[in-house]
Structure 1
Amino acid sequence: MYKRVLESTLKADFRKYPIVTVVGPRQSGKTTLVREAFGNFKYTNLEDPAEREFAKSDPRGFLKKYDQSVIIDEIQRVPELTSYIQVLVDERKSNGQFVLTGSQNFSIREALSQTLSGRTSILTLLPFSMDELKLSQDKTDWIYKGFYPRIYDSKLNPTRALSDYVSTYVERDLRQITAVKDLAVFQTFIKTCATNIGQIINLENIGNECGISQTTAREWLSILEASFIIFRLQPYHVNIRKRLIKRPKLYFYDVGLASYLLGIESKEHVDSHPLRGSLFENMVIVEIMKYRLNRHQPLNFNFYRDSDDNEIDLFVNISQYTVPIEIKYSSTISEEFTRAFRIADKLFKEQPYGKILVYGGDKRESRSPNIEIVPFNEISPLLEKKFSK
């Protein structure tokens, strides 16, 4: 079993809060994590119809059975239960009472903000990170396989496993969130999102490709985001004269899922795919997200693009400083890769964390002015060095 970095944060927060809630995509390892961390706790899963009906019909009786030192899995299935949990934790006035998990970001956060605000720590668990897996794989392997735990734990064929994942999500989870009349159109929509990976979101174009309205495209994009399938990376805004791009970019929480939706069926397909650079960029950005989330650090991320097509792939904002990060698929370092950092030098006078170029090769270098060049599989050690200052 692979050790999850978030476990130490989870245990520490359980000592500080009455409740700890772990959210994240389905099959990201939430249940395994909390049961490993709190092996002697009572456990119930609200996906079980009998347990779900018990919690809905008799919430007080349900919580009398599962009163404390308990893990309640998939809390979004009975969000009204959080109101009754609130009463209990307020009466007891002690930390370390409940561990909750959930897979639908919007419904969970809405319930928590209304009833458990200030009473729970909210942690996000994404699929495995490279640092957790510690495998010697090249970039095409990572892009093709992605990071869902079952692929590694059970040594599953990624194409088949991800096909099952999409089918399960479309056929079950989607119907829990909204009424979609034509599942085939929605499947086309998800695949269209994959073809737009790393691109500025254009709802009109996406809608036209799928034969749906902009309003529907916007709604479905929100559904995918609420279900931890995709996320939107917001643009950087600042009061400067250049006109900046105002719309977000689209990325997937798991690069393997995006690869599957693009029809990639082996690692050999990656190197020749026209979107290999965008897939690699997606993978690196999510690895940096995992590093931050596993330590319960904020995701103050942006990208930069102006009307002259000057672009920097990622800004990570730490305190009052910004770390510019460029991401390149190539295995060979080129001077051209660092040119974008000139924009950062104009934007930010102070850059104590320097600038980072992540690329697809295997050699690490430092270059002037204040640029670190790092292989994609050494991101975590570099971030540990820089962000722990």
Structure 2
Amino acid sequence: MRWVYVQMTSRVPHSPLGRIITRRAAQAIEEALSDTRVVLVIGARQSGKSTLVADIGRSVSARWLSLDDSQTRKAAEFDLSGFVRQARPLIIDEVQRVPDLMLSIKAAVDEDGRPGHFLLTGSARVMGLRSVPDALPGRMETIELWPLSQGEIDGGTDSFVDLAFAEEGLLGVYHQSAEPRAGYMERLSRGGFPEAVARTGKRRARFFSSYIADLINRDVMQLAEIQRAPEMRALVKLLAARSGQLLQLRTIGTELGLSHQTVQRYVGLLEEVFVVKRIPPWSRNLTTRAVATPKVMMVDSGIAAHQCGMSTQTLSKPGPHAGGLLENFVVSEIARQLSWSEEDVEMFHLRTRDQVEVDIVLENRRGQVVAIEVKAADTVSGDDFRGLRYLHDRLGDDLLAGVVLYTGTQTLPFGPKFRAMPIAALWEL
């Protein structure tokens, strides 16, 4: 059977914001298409994958096929080989819906080794799914797309990570920001999903409620055939409330009435569909007293705030509730930058059995470290640098900088290697 499509068979998506926002990942996708046969863009539903790849696809006259469309999906399942042997470049949206397509794509690109044949998207970690054959090693590049960063929303630079590891680094930077505390709380509760950014008030809350319910009832159920959706929803709420805390599986299981093995499986599923992310513990064998437990964060701070019942107004009031959510917001913004930064950097956290903590430890391949603390306050004191100084004492010159990000407006020195900086430096620098 020979397939001939003279037009796109599924509706190409448009941005809910009414405008196309320049995404930092676009350059990486275009570069990958220039030398790689298959490019896969993965990320959370509603993060803008389809809009981005459609925009890129228009520039190369690619055909668009979405497996979220039932008729298109049936056609793919009926004739896997014929489906992928259409005119190319070919965009296949939500490819995880028909996992066996991967073998047909492999056969197609093995026949013709030229780059840029297939641009795929997936709302789950496609190659990690049990139902997806490991068909494309050496033939495919995977690019992760997060929800919008603050710099993408504002048109800022989002260059904090690259600047932190540049030759000049952060220590020679003086940044002053006009962002007020209430502004940070609005950004936190809004998050980065385009639909949420485009809405306000009850309509935004309605989006968040529907998003989690639909994701569990659709994607999570498809991945694992879980029958107890209420338990999964309860776990999402609990993990949101524990943003920035250690992932204690037994404690969570006791609270939910589940075994820690079940909690571990459920958390893994939530990672596969980009609801949560684990931040691994950092260690360079400097101490045997480091706690080898990951932290958990929500991929989007707006989802986290909504699941905790927090709005911009409640977060702006004095109290301890903003701390973990603000740390989640900062971690998620840095994680976005790591997906496109020129510097190859990994993110960790540190906690010792002596209760010394560092919220974020960034380390490049040369072993250089930038350590970050997050503080939900307008002022900073020397005590806020305790964990950063602990690292400096053990790393010496390998610690490039220790930074406390806070809701104040000025950059302030706290010693040769230490600075307090406004959180907005993440996207304004």
Tell me the equivalent position of 1:385.
none
Aligned-pair CA distance for 1:375: 1.3
Amino acid at match of 1:201: L
Tell me the equivalent position of 1:126.
146
Amino acid at match of 1:290: R
Taking the aligned partners of 1:311 and 1:324, their CA distance within structure 2 comes to: 11
Alignment partner of 1:36 is 2:83: no
Question: Counterpart of 2:396 in 1: which secondary structure?
Answer: coil
Contact 1:304/1:314, CA 8 A, preserved across alignment: yes
Tell me the equivalent position of 1:387.
none
Greater shift in the superposed pair: 153-162 or 368-377: 153-162
Tell me the equivalent position of 2:356.
310
Taking the aligned partners of 1:379 and 1:109, their CA distance within structure 2 comes to: 34
Contact 1:20/1:99, CA 8 A, preserved across alignment: yes
Aligned-pair CA distance for 1:333: 2.3
* Alignment match of 1:139 (pick from 184, 207, 221): 184
Alignment partner of 1:282 is 2:282: no
1:52-67 pair list within 5 angstroms: 52-65=73-86, 67=87
Tell me the equivalent position of 2:316.
271
Taking the aligned partners of 1:295 and 1:321, their CA distance within structure 2 comes to: 16
Per-residue CA deviations over 1:77-103 (Å, capped at 9, x if unaligned) read 112111111111121111111100001
Aligned-pair CA distance for 1:109: 6.7
Taking the aligned partners of 1:101 and 1:212, their CA distance within structure 2 comes to: 33
Contact 2:413/2:419, CA 8 A, preserved across alignment: yes
Per-residue CA deviations over 1:184-228 (Å, capped at 9, x if unaligned) read 222112111112211111111111111111111111111111110
Question: Counterpart of 2:397 in 1: which secondary structure?
Answer: coil
Aligned-pair CA distance for 1:275: 2.9
Aligned-pair CA distance for 1:230: 0.4
Tell me the equivalent position of 1:102.
122
Tell me the equivalent position of 1:167.
213
Tell me the equivalent position of 2:8.
none
1:305-384 pair list within 5 angstroms: 305-319=351-365, 320-351=367-398, 353-382=400-429
* Alignment match of 2:229 (pick from 183, 194, 197): 183
Tell me the equivalent position of 2:90.
70
Taking the aligned partners of 1:333 and 1:90, their CA distance within structure 2 comes to: 58
Tell me the equivalent position of 2:267.
221
Tell me the equivalent position of 2:29.
10
CA RMSD of aligned residues (A): 2.1
Question: Counterpart of 1:104 in 2: which secondary structure?
Answer: coil
Consecutive unaligned residues of structure 1, counting only runs of 5 or more, are 383-389
Aligned-pair CA distance for 1:11: 0.9
1:194-209 pair list within 5 angstroms: 194-209=240-255
Per-residue CA deviations over 1:301-345 (Å, capped at 9, x if unaligned) read 111111110111111111221111111111222222222211111
**How many residue pairs were aligned?**
380
Taking the aligned partners of 2:200 and 2:355, their CA distance within structure 1 comes to: 42
Question: Counterpart of 2:424 in 1: which secondary structure?
Answer: helix
Aligned-pair CA distance for 1:288: 0.8
Contact 1:123/1:296, CA 8 A, preserved across alignment: no
Aligned-pair CA distance for 1:175: 1.4
Aligned-pair CA distance for 1:374: 2.0
Taking the aligned partners of 1:172 and 1:371, their CA distance within structure 2 comes to: 47
Taking the aligned partners of 2:206 and 2:343, their CA distance within structure 1 comes to: 34
Amino acid at match of 2:407: G
Taking the aligned partners of 1:353 and 1:107, their CA distance within structure 2 comes to: 36
Question: Counterpart of 2:254 in 1: which secondary structure?
Answer: helix
Question: Counterpart of 1:354 in 2: which secondary structure?
Answer: strand
Question: Counterpart of 1:315 in 2: which secondary structure?
Answer: strand
Alignment partner of 1:27 is 2:27: no
Taking the aligned partners of 1:281 and 1:113, their CA distance within structure 2 comes to: 37
Amino acid at match of 1:230: V
The 1:359/1:208 distance shift into structure 2, 3 A limit, reads: same
Aligned-pair CA distance for 1:349: 2.0
Taking the aligned partners of 1:194 and 1:154, their CA distance within structure 2 comes to: 21
Normalising by the residue count of structure 1, what TM-score does the alignment of the two structures yield? 0.92
Consecutive unaligned residues of structure 2, counting only runs of 5 or more, are 1-18, 156-178
Amino acid at match of 2:402: K
The 1:106/1:73 distance shift into structure 2, 3 A limit, reads: closer
The 1:369/1:231 distance shift into structure 2, 3 A limit, reads: same
Taking the aligned partners of 2:228 and 2:245, their CA distance within structure 1 comes to: 26
Aligned-pair CA distance for 1:145: 1.3
Aligned-pair CA distance for 1:352: 6.3
Per-residue CA deviations over 1:83-135 (Å, capped at 9, x if unaligned) read 11111112111111110000111555778882111111111110010110118
Amino acid at match of 1:42: R
Taking the aligned partners of 1:298 and 1:42, their CA distance within structure 2 comes to: 33
